[in-house]
Chain A
């Protein structure tokens, strides 16, 4: 009996309704936190941090680029873990989180690539460079797109979820291999070059706003994930009574037609 009680919290967490109601309470705080951190980080980084000696003002794009890249990769692992939990414990909520993590991660990867290109033009004269990090990020985008495509390819929601979960796990095993391979490939062809997208050794004054932005981005990711998952919950549970009640409660009262 004790063992049963120990896992209760875990299984309770798996209830979409519980998730919806609990996150509903957290949301306002999360909004405040995210906006606060984001604004602080952006203003500090874009306006107040000192200029870079070599790159001038264009380096400031890293305040978007680096956090986006971090979260893009972390997001994939989160998606894969959510998928694994769904497969092992057959938890619907886990699948919903996985499904929500996919478009957010893909968008962040795209932002990372885009900001990388914007960084590239004034700094090295070209929008696109096949260096190790950018190429790996591109491949990550493709992995995300694959998971997204698989989600929507099946008639049955359940099958689509499980298939995406399997694919996400296969991708997870592959990500370190891909990163290492691309890295090796790049050094093979360009042995003595600087790594384009590695952050140059940073002065504390430049690093602090970056740190703030990274935390802000984590917060943003959490917020976006929760919002997307809530929508997914409503969509999937729309036939259940608690969702109906919710919809009726938030409808303005209809006086006689």
Chain B
């Protein structure tokens, strides 16, 4: 599902509500028909969220960052492969503060290769990445969907993906910032 809307309409807020990073002042979030509070760990175990700030620590290397954000069962080879896939081969041991903004993004996106989560929440994942990166990401999204996963993302980009539904977020709708 693609979330569309003007800047500031509340797409990020909606996404954070859905991942329970934010608590709603009214209303509920349901996972498989049950309120998220009742099956919180089950739900959270099954999601992956990459927000505007990606959670990448600048003083750690790309490899260390990815290892932290991947399931414990991920092997070193899988991590190396994931970093390779986003084009960071050779940069794995360098602390992230010496990488460019686009490369930071790619470290975060490398999570998509190692994660076992079924539901992906991606907030503006296409920012700062080049054409090749955009194509790679699109392929990954399609593959994930084919495996039966779900993707909810917000982007201004046009995505030629089959079965993509759009939800338009209106500003000042009930999904507003708390007063």
Contact = CB atoms under 8 A, between A and B. Distances in A.
A55 interface: no
B179 A157 contact: yes
Interface string B1-40: 0000000000000000000000001000000000000000
B25 A90 contact: yes
B178 interface: yes
A86 to B, nearest CB: 13
A44 B35 CA distance: 63
Interface residues of B, number: 4
B161 interface: no
B60 interface: no
Contacts of A157: 179
B177 interface: yes
Contacts of A159: 178
Nearest to B26: A90
A198 interface: no
Interface in B151-179: 177-179
Interface in A208-244: none
Contacts of B179: 156-158
A156 B177 contact: yes
B19 to A, nearest CB: 19
Interface in B46-103: none
A147 B51 CA distance: 32
A157 B25 CA distance: 14
Contacts of B178: 156, 158-159
A159 B25 CA distance: 12
B166 to A, nearest CB: 30
Contacts of A158: 25, 178-179
Nearest to A92: B179
Contacts of B25: 90, 158
A158 B176 CA distance: 13
B29 to A, nearest CB: 17
Nearest to B177: A156
A157 B178 CA distance: 8
A240 to B, nearest CB: 12
Contacts of B177: 156
Interface in A108-159: 156-159
B23 to A, nearest CB: 10
A210 B25 CA distance: 47
Contacts of A156: 177-179
A73 B178 CA distance: 32
A29 B51 CA distance: 56
Given A156-B178, A156-B179, A158-B179, 6 more contacts: A90-B25, A156-B177, A157-B179, A158-B25, A158-B178, A159-B178
8 contacts: A90-B25, A156-B177, A156-B178, A156-B179, A157-B179, A158-B25, A158-B178, A159-B178
Top 5 A-B pairs ranked by shortest CB distance? A158-B178, A157-B179, A158-B179, A156-B178, A156-B179
